[in-house]
Amino acid sequence: MGHDVEQVRARAIEWHVRLRDGEAGDWEEFSAWLAEDPRHGEAYDLVEAADLAIEPLLPHVVFREAANDDDIRRGGASARRRWVVGGSLLMASLAAVMILLPRFAADGYEVRTIAGQQRVVTLDAQTRVVLNGATTMRFDRNDPRFASLVEGEALFHVRHDEAHPFTLQVGGNRVQDVGTVFNVVKTRDGIRVAVSEGKVLYNPDAESVALGAGQALVDAAADSEVRVEPVPADAVGAWQQGRFVYTGQPLSQVAADLERSLGIRIAVDHAIAGRAVSGSIALDGDGREAMQIERLEHALDVAITAGTDGWIMKPAAGAQR
């Protein structure tokens, strides 16, 4: 049993080092590895926490250069060799810190996803969080009833406990559950909360806005008051299946939602950024980028052209602005 644990831990460290410069294929393999066994995700979370613990020490680590001209002339091979040595040292450091971590490390840990990736964090038998792409969250090992959304989007399935309600910190705001399934988005433009089942309280010690199933709240950075609006309950968190439902949201928000899920950069021409979008968008399940772009052009009545670092939505020929 102990040998199995060590193998899982070693593999988690390997993945952590590999994903520092990971490509799309690496992330797909990593996702498959996570899905094989719940212990894999737990081990990887520990590795991330260990990396955070040793990060302040890394500037003081010196990798000595080779002392002869041959190594300088063979810069490519030497650099690769130093990378392997550096990676090995990092893996050894992570392994050492992980041994000490349960005793000495802080209780908090951070989980991140890249755009286009989803990840599930299980807090207890009946409470789990699904992170969408480009999302950063913080958790507390000693308190599974607390989480913090730093940026991005997450769907929460929460077991209600009246004596110890689940609390989500979102910037300077709090979302408190009353037994529910809810979705939260945090971007530089503000915060959005939508409820699929049950009820939540937004800022219970301040505005104390109650939201039930089929309701959404928008706390825009540019506005002084929060806004409550209806939302189809079955559309909350539908991004997990590649489905998005809109009832008058601006095209700029739609593009940001698609970026998180697709993992591709999508900018919007300012001439149409504020255009209201209503209806449903279903992404193509095979994931081919060209097919996705073509479907989005038809669904949103826009022209999507290649930019320097992604795609740009522009007015379609003859379309209204």
Give the DSSP per-residue string, 61-111: ---PPPSSHHHHHTHHHHHHHHHHHHHHHHHHHHHHHHHHHHHHS-SEEEE
pLDDT score, position 287: 59
Q: Kindly state the average pLDDT of the residues 55-64.
A: 49
Give every CB contact of residue 45 below 8 A, 6+ residues apart in sequence. Answer: 109, 111, 121
For position 20, what pLDDT does the model report? 65
* Least confident range of 43-47, 67-71, 93-97, 186-190: 67-71
Distance in angstroms (rounded) separating the CA atoms of residues 89 and 193: 43
pLDDT at 51 over 80: no
Q: What percent of the chain has pLDDT over 90?
A: 49
**For position 84, what pLDDT does the model report?**
43
- Give the C-alpha separation, 250 to 229, whole Å: 15
Amino acid (1-letter code) at residue 289: E
Find the mean pLDDT for residues 260-266: 92
> For 32-46, 173-187, 235-249, which range has the lowest pLDDT when averaged over its residues?
32-46
89 and 61 Cβ atoms separated by less than 8 Å? yes
Average pLDDT, the chain: 81
pTM of the model: 0.67
User: Is pLDDT at 78 greater than 50 in this prediction?
Assistant: no
Domains, the chain, ordered by start? 2-105 (no CATH), 110-233 (2.60.120.1440), 242-315 (3.55.50.30)
Q: Closest Cα partner for 202 from 174, 164, 230? A: 174
The residue that leads in pLDDT, 128 or 9, is 128
Lowest mean pLDDT of 24-28, 85-89, 129-133, 195-199, name the range.
85-89
Give the pair of three-digit tokens for residue 282: 């279903």
Given a cut of 90, whether residue 304 has pLDDT beyond it is: yes
Q: Cβ distance 158 to 179 under 8 Å?
A: yes
Q: What confidence tier does 13 reach under pLDDT thresholds 50, 70, 90? A: confident
What pLDDT is recorded for position 176?
Answer: 95
pLDDT of res. 54: 57
DSSP 213: T
Q: What was the pLDDT predicted at 90?
A: 56
Q: Which residue has the higher pLDDT, 12 or 63?
A: 12
By the 8 A CB rule, do 14 and 8 touch? Answer: no
What mean pLDDT comes out for the span 140-155? 93
Q: What is the C-alpha separation between 281 and 247, in angstroms, rounded?
A: 12
The amino acid occupying position 86 is G
Per-residue confidence band for 207, with pLDDT thresholds at 50, 70 and 90: confident
Are the C-beta atoms of residues 311 and 305 closer than 8 Å to each other? yes
In one letter, which amino acid is 142?
A: N
Averaged pLDDT, 177-196 = 94
Share of the chain above pLDDT 70, in %: 77
**Residues near 281 by beta carbon (within 8 Å), at least 6 away in sequence:** 243, 244, 245, 246, 254, 258, 296, 299, 300
Binning pLDDT at 50, 70 and 90, where does residue 142 land?
A: confident
Q: Closest by alpha carbon to 40, among 18, 23, 16?
A: 16
Mean pLDDT of 5-15: 82
- Per-residue b or e along 116-144, where b marks 16 or more CB atoms closer than 10 Å to that residue's CB: bbbbbbebeeebebbbbbbbbbebeeeeb
205: three-class secondary structure by DSSP: coil
